């Protein structure tokens, strides 16, 4: 496997990645990185290339050029299954839960490589500590949960495999404002546990409140990048995303 000399704490690195759907260029020389223990947000309106960036990292779409590195290994040449097996977990847009299965069975699917029931119980216990409501609802079918509870379950499922990196695609989409705040408190807890997060989000205010750094995508190009403090002060970001 090809190795790459990345900075010590960088876990994910995209190096000049370009991706197309047919003849339509979706990403143009996108470079970004995520380091251990940090939250990095990816901001942009609909159609800016956020989802394509995530699909390209996960190998669902192959880049035309550029390279993607995870823990110093090149992953853009691997299959999605191999990439996920390296320790990347996704909280997909729209949650994608199994609505007719119980909360516990949905969690179990997040760690489907583990067959030992007692180990699964142990992992689920940790998720219940993070989200006590899921313990109360563990035998309830996922489709009957509220939007906020479904979001918690989607994150819980992603955490079951003890990932080295979590990617969240529009996690607050369709959530009531009061739940968005609770949800972001949870994201802070996950960060405190040391798991880095790449957060793709249209709710720029919330994303910038929890992230350490960010990248702003426009039509597949990284227009602005920097610390969240720098992004909050940027006139362009204020106008486009923060109602300034």
Is the alpha carbon torsion for 74, 77, 82, 84 positive or negative? positive
State pLDDT tens for residues 4-55.
666 678 999 999 999 999 889 999 999 999 999 999 999 998 889 999 999 9
State pLDDT tens for residues 202-225.
888 888 989 999 999 999 999 999
> Topology of domain 1-87+163-244, per CATH?
Rossmann fold (3.40.50)
pTM for the full predicted model: 0.87
Which residues of the chain are in CATH 3.40.50.300 domains? 1-87+163-244
Q: Where are the alpha helices (DSSP H) in 34-131?
A: 50-57, 80-85, 103-109, 117-130
């Amino acid at each position: 496997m090809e190795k790459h000399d990345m900075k010590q704490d960088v876990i994910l690195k995209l190096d000049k990645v370009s991706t197309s759907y047919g003849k339509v260029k979706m990403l143009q020389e996108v470079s970004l990185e995520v380091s251990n223990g940090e939250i990095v947000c990816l901001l942009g309106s609909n159609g800016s290339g956020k989802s394509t960036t995530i699909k390209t990292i996960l190998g669902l779409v192959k880049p035309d050029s550029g390279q993607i590195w995870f823990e110093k290994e090149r992953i853009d040449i691997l299959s999605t299954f191999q990439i996920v097996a390296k320790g990347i977990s996704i909280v997909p847009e729209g949650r994608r839960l199994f609505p007719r299965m119980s909360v516990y069975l949905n969690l179990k699917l997040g760690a489907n490589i583990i067959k030992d029931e007692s180990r699964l119980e142990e992992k689920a216990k940790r998720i219940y500590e993070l989200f006590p409501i899921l313990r109360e609802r563990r035998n309830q079918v996922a489709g009957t949960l509220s939007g906020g509870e479904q979001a918690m379950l989607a994150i819980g499922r992603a955490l079951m495999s003890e990932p080295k990196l979590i990617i969240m695609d529009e996690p607050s989409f369709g959530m009531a404002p009061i739940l968005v705040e609770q949800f972001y408190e949870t994201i802070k807890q996950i960060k405190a546990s040391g798991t880095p997060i790449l957060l793709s989000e249209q709710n720029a205010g919330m994303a910038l409140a929890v992230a350490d750094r960010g990248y702003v995508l426009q039509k597949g190009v990284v227009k602005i990048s920097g610390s969240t403090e720098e992004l909050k002060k940027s006139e362009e970001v204020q106008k486009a995303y923060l109602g300034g």
